[in-house]
Amino acid sequence: MKKLVSLLLALALLMTGTVAMAESVADLVAAAESLTHDELVAKALAEEGDFIVYGNTSRIVTAVENFGALYNITPVGNNLKDGEIYTKLENEIKGKAKGADMVMIQDGASLQDVAIANGYLVNYVPASMKDKVAEGDQNPLIHQYINKVFIWNNKGENVPAITNVWQLTEKQFKGNIVFKAPDSEQVNMNFLVMLTNEEWSGKLAEAYKNLYGKEIELGDYENAGYKWIAEFLSNCVFGNSDTTLAEELSQETAAGKIGLFVLSKLRSSSVYTENLTVGQYQATQTGTAIEPFSGFMYPMYAMVSANASRPYTAMLFIEYLMGAEGFKPWGKSIGAYSGNGEIAPLEGDLSLAVWKDTLVMEDPEYILDNYEDVYSFVNLYLQ
């Protein structure tokens, strides 16, 4: 009888283990969406091994270290480029090797086309956040929005203030515009793609007429978006780092120059912010908008890796990131806007609603459908 009981117990354990092994991270995440904070903590602390995070933001390392200290978990934060993250995810998942548990990444088009379509990343919305994050920002979950805006050097006699983006296509701006090369910065390329859609090309045509008092003549260009892209890029000097662009533009020797780069780079101690003017800040103060946009904005997403060895810890970290404490590494400077509607931007910055109303926003579906054509066109002006 004892042998029979032992045999049945062993069989039950084997079956339980088989089910657990077969249960995917996606299944675990779906079942965990109703867990309370305390239940999630208990499950996360029962997991073993290093907790590995990939993120394309330098501040992810600080956030994961703070999280590790809070819960006595050993974290490994990795600041990587988008392309590196996608490549590592694919290699790890296909090779069934230990890798990322959680990922923070930008570029909604690639996220949809590469990571979500192939099942590399799994969406998770903490129960505590479902009434704090806008419904449209929940799948995939947006941790924050980031903006790249027109900023100019305010020194010298020829301060390059603009009220209309077509001014940037004029000859006086030749070589005086700094912009990270769009073939090395995917969100910059996405911004250019968006300008070719019906809405933004139409707004650009209207802005042209408002500035010059006549209808735009397109010539061989498909629409006003393509024309603006060609003439804007022809005036640009391309860089490889938004941080470097901010630093160099803030020097007194950069009088007469303007840039389009990440607003939050002004947080750096090596940037002389007193020498810089943020176009939209000035426009808001004067009540005169920059037509038809003052830059662009894109989301940063937080997701669980389908290969996670610590999926509950990944979910707990996402909950932490979406709260006020977890957002601090970003929220202590301008240019970061939490997906949690209860977290306000830094005092002195503009609201997310104002930025959304004045910036070009990503549409992943349009970008995917039109990327090839615009990419080929843009490359003509990057040689």
Report pLDDT digits (tens) over 65-91: 999 999 999 999 999 998 899 999 999
Report pLDDT digits (tens) over 217-253: 999 999 999 999 999 999 999 999 999 999 999 999 9
The pLDDT value given to residue 23 = 80
HSE value, Cβ hemisphere, 13 Å, CA-based, for 23:
14
Domains, the chain, in order of start with CATH, read 23-144+299-353 (3.40.190.10), 145-297+357-379 (3.40.190.10)
Written as one string, the DSSP assignment of 192-240 is HHHTTSHHHHHHHHHHHHHHHSS----TT-SSHHHHHHHHHHHTEEEES
Question: Is 177 within 8 Å of 168 (Cβ atoms)?
Answer: yes
Question: Is 274 within 8 Å of 252 (Cβ atoms)?
Answer: no
Report pLDDT digits (tens) over 264-293: 999 999 999 999 999 999 999 999 999 999
DSSP structural state of residue 351: P
What span, in angstroms and rounded, lies between the C-alpha atoms of 351 and 120?
33
Question: Is 148 within 8 Å of 215 (Cβ atoms)?
Answer: no
In the predicted model, what is the mean pLDDT of residues 186-201? 98
Written as one string, the DSSP assignment of 11-38 is HHHHHHHHHHHHS-HHHHHHHHTT--HH
Q: Is the pLDDT of residue 14 over 70?
A: no
Q: Rounded to the nearest 5°, which phi and psi values hold at 122?
A: -120, 135
What span, in angstroms and rounded, lies between the C-alpha atoms of 123 and 101?
13
Q: What is the pTM of this model?
A: 0.91
What are the CA-CA distances from residue 11 to residues 8, 14, 20, 163 (Å)?
5, 5, 14, 74
**Greatest C-alpha distance within the chain:** 97
The pLDDT value given to residue 383 = 67
In the predicted model, what is the mean pLDDT of residues 2-24? 41
User: Using only C-alpha atoms, what is the Rg of the chain?
Assistant: 24
